[in-house]
Chains A and B, each alone.
Chain A
Amino acid sequence: DTEVTQTPKHLVMGMTNKKSLKCEQHMGHRAMYWYKQKAKKPPELMFVYSYEKLSINESVPSRFSPECPNSSLLNLHLHALQPEDSALYLCASSHILQGDTEAFFGQGTRLTVV
């Protein structure tokens, strides 16, 4: 199994809603990532979890709250988002602390904030 599975594929939410994005992998990877990708832009790193602990937070606003409940799952909790947060949110995973190991990406969740 070399897949990273993200749900939902599409999400529309209001600015007062609370929602969660989910990501799952069963490749034994102990590093998991959230990226945000705006249209025609590269993915921007948001968070990195290593061994289920947050290791990198790229100064992301607190309305985005990541969670790594176990080594296979990664969540991104969303609350009070703004329309400019609309983007494709990509989850990725990789082996830990090995710079030559590629990251495997999910298909993404396309989020629209209205």
Chain B
Amino acid sequence: GNSVTQMEGPVTLSEEAFLTINCTYTATGYPSLFWYVQYPGEGLQLLLKATKADDKGSNKGFEATYRKETTSFHLEKGSVQVSDSAVYFCALSEGNNDMRFGAGTRLTVKP
């Protein structure tokens, strides 16, 4: 079945540091890939998405590129802010409305 594997956290960075959160996936076909963010006490918000190989999703300074050859969708940001502290979930969906999430990576950014 389909699955997503994320790097384990927690991740603690200083403000303006570079962020990478690794995500790899297993799928039988050609899934769409997503990054969601969850702030404390809230639901999930879509951060970015990519629907086919080599697509790059981007939003709020975050980027991720759909790499079919390595089955990866790593999240990056060049300069994190304290307000980026949250839990980040990588997810995939293969067109049957069955969205699967990775374990989540907790990011803490310190001033």
Contact = CB atoms under 8 A, between A and B. Distances in A.
A40 B36 CA distance: 15
B49 interface: yes
Interface of A: 4, 6, 31, 33, 40-43, 45, 48, 50, 55-56, 90, 92, 94, 96-100, 102-108
B69 interface: no
Contact of B89 (A4, A42, A107): A42
Q: Which of B31, B42, B94, B99 has the most CB of A within 10 A?
A: B99
Nearest to A9: B41
B66 to A, nearest CB: 11
A36 B45 CA distance: 16
B97 A100 contact: no
Interface in B20-53: 31-32, 34, 36, 42-46, 49, 51
Contacts of B98: 45, 48, 56
A58 B86 CA distance: 28
B51 A100 contact: yes
